[in-house]
Amino acid sequence: MPSERFVIPIGPQHPALKEPGHFEFSVEGERVTGATVRLGYAHRGIEKACEERNWVQSLYLLERICGICSHIHTTAYCLGVERLAGVEVPPRAQAIRVLIAELERVHSHLLWLGVAAHEAGFDTLFMYSWRDRETVMDVLEGLTGNRVNYSANVLGGVKYDLDEARAETIRKGVDYLEARTYYYLELVVHDPVFVQRTRGIGTVTREQAEWLGLVGPAARASNVARDLRVESPYAAYDLFPVQMVLETAGDLEARVSVRLKELFESYRVIRTILDKLPTGEIKGRMPKKVREGETVSRVEAPRGELFYFIKSNGTDKAERVKVRTPTLCNLAPMMTLAIGHQLADMPMLLAGVDPCFSCNDRSIVVRNAQEAETRWTWEQLRRYGIEVYKCKR
Amino acid sequence: MKITTMLGDVLRSLLRPNSTQQYPAERQPDPERLRGKLVWNGEKCTGCALCVKECPALAIELITLDKAAKRFVMRYHIYRCTFCAQCVENCRFGCLQMSNTDWELAAADKSAFTVYYGKEHDIEMARSAQAASTKPEPAEG
Amino acid sequence: MQAVIALLIFPGGLCVLLLGLAYEWLDRKLMAQMQNRVGPRWYQPVADLVKLLAKQETMPNGVNPLLFIGLPLVGLASVLTAALYVPLVGLAPSYSFRGDLIVTIYLLGLLTFCMSLAGSNTLDRFSLMGALRALTQLFSYEVPFLLALLGPALAAGSWQIAEISAYAETHWLILTQPLGFVVALIGLMGKLELSPFDAPEAETEIVAGALTEYSGRGLALFHLSRDVALVVGLTLVAAFYLGGMANPLWFFGKTLLLLLVVSGLQALFARLRIDQTVGLWWRYGMLLVLLQWLLMIVWR
């Protein structure tokens, strides 16, 4: 019998992956017997770069960690820095932050549905869900002026106010999307072929999910009550509470339906905010320098818990910004789950946690015990990067 | 086991026009808040340079010709701009705006990506001063 | 002279190739329309073909060059030969002999076989995986597909395509053998590796399957062969089940109707895993076609 392993590489360049990541699946026939992951292809040194920029400049850099959940990154950062600086953010600004975050969640989940359908070879669903996603993109463009990287957050508040005309556009968009989401939920639960590809695939029990440390919709699909919007409401989530959506099955189908059902919660919260938007200012006064201290800021990104550690040394620059994105928590468990599944299920299984590789890839320090630890400045890191790429060429 | 839900949608799509917008030929109105090219109107500028200090992409330079007479020239590097509008936020005198109509900024020539704003005479001065100084362009990236 | 023209230009050779490209475009356009997209322009398949023919062919290390170059040619030749035995454009088949139905079906099968061989000829892992899947799929749909096409032959009492087609002109076999029609049509989709039976070339898993290492002429020829196989297959099914092929009008009407159904089915389903494909054919396809045969025998 096969003594040599037959390895199927997926990535860094592969039609299934829209971003660079490298997976190796060793297979016996169609059955996967081993799986490894290698990350770091999209490392951009953002955390280090934050140490060279002032608080405001870092905001726009961090917004570009992820193209899909850009707003939630800046929200996490703003909340952290505002807490450090002791700035009071007006409730209206917080509500608008939540509003944009929920619209972003809608856009992210619909995008994900399309990607998952494409991985399953269901291109019609892919095209339809992305077509409908245009609605929420247009709404976001009308509200903030941009389709992605809205840059709606500033330290101390938000840039853009909401008026009645815009609220009406949002309401209309949400009504349309809600009807479509019902349709998709019906479809993914009942379509015989799609169900065959999702039901019972990659099942994670509740104990496993807790032990492996899944976050976000992937965890909620396994009946683990993990949602920061409910557990520790930030921004305006205490004013506009969210119900947690849980599924019990823990398989791919549950991950699909948890995301779609979450959308109904988002639509409800969006409508409530539009109806009961607090009045007042949208910006608080932000000092140039932030007093010394450190803080942890956690928010619920569309993919799960997003974690920011921010340390200030009392100047106008951050001493350290550390970001942990949800994909990192979710990707490793999937490698454990892959074993025993069919090769054809792998793209679906990976897509099931909605991986975002450029979110993932930031600084990694490989310590060599023999050498003294050295710290590089941003300039040294930049020079090193240029040298490496020159040599490769 | 429902195949019919999708069937209806597929058949309806077959009969109706597709939803692709043929962009250059077919245009949507520009959103009111769209952030396009930065426009500087220097009449009220005091030269505080708050816009320059907090620009995340180092895309703006404010060249001071005569601080007392309030003669400034703004050099704006479009190719570096991230269109975040932080400079617009920062300006207390409303000198900066982001155009919502001028957003198709592609050009075949690099010179189109550096824009000077200010009075014509001042721009000439700034340009010649720039040419005279041997200071090289700051590296990109 | 006439034989040469029939072989090279009409209705064989050039005409079949152009028909194949036209049907490919129509299939893609219909799919696009059902997915609410624009889809390709009318000349896109020709443009693709010209581009691929002009491209440099990279031959990977470790392949047998003879097979690498020869297999696309054999594949194309086999489907072009198959085209000579079917009533293309509503005309009588160019060549005909007793039992040409079996030859045609196996000439179509030869194309799949050539592709699998081309895949296993390289050392590329995606190609090997694709070849393995293509062969697995071949073994699953081939028997039900063959039996479904033999149903009309049994009814007509002949194994000659021209005679079955003539018999079908007076008997709409879709009414008497509906199960056989369904299996034949879906079997054709399996044969052409169309979605949902496109596991052998599932791009999100194994890139382009067996043809991953082909880049230039070889790929162009394989694509062309598949287009021709699409036309031949549609003609066969339409001639057998939809009331024959009396004239060009009927030919286009019936094959285009079938193409619309095939495109619709492609748009409706997610891709089946290879084990699900095999299960579907042996559990349901086979059962349906045997049931059809049983009914037919009882009817007699």
* Structure confidence by residue, pLDDT tens digits, C32-57: 988 888 889 999 999 999 999 998 88
Q: Tokens 């490209």 map to which residue? A: C21
- Report how far residue C251's alpha carbon sits from residue C267's, in angstroms, rounded to the nearest whole number: 24
* Residues in chain A closer than 8 A to B11 (CB atoms): none
Q: What is the least distance, in Å, from the CA of A143 to any CA of chain B?
A: 7
Over the Cα atoms of chain A, what is R_g?
22
Q: Which two tokens stand for residue C257?
A: 């109707």
Handedness of CA C85, C87, C89, C94 (dihedral sign): positive
**Which chain C residue has its CA at the smallest distance from B19's CA?**
C36
Handedness of CA C34, C35, C36, C40 (dihedral sign): negative
Q: Mark which residues 210-269 of C lie under 8 Å from B by CB.
A: 264, 267-268
Q: Mark which residues 40-59 of B lie under 8 Å from C by CB.
A: none
Q: Give the full edge-to-edge strand order of the sheet including A31-38.
A: A6-10, A22-28, A31-38
CB contact under 8 A, A191 and B57: no
Phi and psi at A380, nearest 5°, equal: -60, -40
Q: Tokens 């930049």 map to which residue? A: A382
* Residues in chain B closer than 8 A to C264 (CB atoms): 7, 10-11
Q: Find, among A292, A290, A321, A291, the residue nearest to A307 by Cα.
A: A321
Domains of chain B and CATH, by start: 29-132 (3.30.70.3270)
Angle at A28 between CA A193 and CA A353, to 5 degrees: 50
Mutation test of the interface with chain B: which of A150, A158, A159, A160, choosing the one with the most B Cβ atoms within 10 A? Answer: A159
CB contact under 8 A, B10 and C32: no
- Report how far residue A194's alpha carbon sits from residue C268's, in angstroms, rounded to the nearest whole number: 10
Mutation test of the interface with chain C: which of A24, A115, A123, choosing the one with the most C Cβ atoms within 10 A? Answer: A123
- Report how far residue B21's alpha carbon sits from residue A65's, in angstroms, rounded to the nearest whole number: 29
CB contact under 8 A, A151 and B85: yes
- Report how far residue A299's alpha carbon sits from residue A227's, in angstroms, rounded to the nearest whole number: 9
Q: Which two tokens stand for residue C65?
A: 């060059």
Phi and psi at B72, nearest 5°, equal: -125, 150
Interface of C with A (CB under 8 A): 34-37, 125-126, 129, 132, 195-196, 198-199, 202-207, 267-276
Fold of A53-317: Cytochrome-c3 Hydrogenase; chain B (1.10.645)
Mutation test of the interface with chain B: which of C29, C31, C34, choosing the one with the most B Cβ atoms within 10 A? Answer: C34
Domain boundaries, chain C: 2-299
| Beta bridge partner(s), residue A297 | A308
- Report how far residue B62's alpha carbon sits from residue B49's, in angstroms, rounded to the nearest whole number: 7
**Which chain A residue has its CA at the smallest distance from C276's CA?**
A196
pLDDT at A175: 92
| Beta bridge partner(s), residue B66 | B71
Q: Can you say how many angstroms the Cα of residue C198 is from the centroid of all Cα atoms in its chain?
A: 13
Phi and psi at A321, nearest 5°, equal: -125, 125
CB contact under 8 A, A57 and B56: yes
Q: Mark which residues 37-96 of B lie under 8 Å from A by CB.
A: 53-57, 82-86, 89
Q: What is the least distance, in Å, from the CA of B35 to any CA of chain A?
A: 6
pLDDT by residue, tens only, chain A of 393 residues: 445 678 888 878 887 777 888 888 888 877 888 888 887 788 888 888 888 888 999 999 898 888 888 899 999 999 999 988 888 899 999 999 999 999 999 999 999 999 888 888 888 889 999 999 999 999 999 898 888 888 889 888 898 888 888 899 999 999 999 999 988 998 888 888 888 888 888 888 888 888 888 888 988 988 888 888 888 888 888 888 888 888 888 888 899 999 999 999 999 999 999 998 888 888 888 888 888 888 889 899 888 888 899 988 888 888 888 888 888 888 878 888 888 888 888 888 888 888 877 776 664 555 555 666 566 777 777 788 788 778 766
Handedness of CA A367, A369, A370, A376 (dihedral sign): positive
- The pLDDT mean for chain B works out to 83
- Report how far residue B13's alpha carbon sits from residue B8's, in angstroms, rounded to the nearest whole number: 9
Indicate if the pLDDT at residue C287 is higher than 60: yes
Q: What is the DSSP string of B82-125?
A: ----HHHHH-TT--EEE-SS------SSGGGGEEEES-HHHHHH
pLDDT below 70 — which residues of chain B?
1-4, 134-141
Q: C3 in helix, strand or coil?
A: helix
- Report how far residue C103's alpha carbon sits from residue C125's, in angstroms, rounded to the nearest whole number: 33
| Beta bridge partner(s), residue A310 | A295, A321
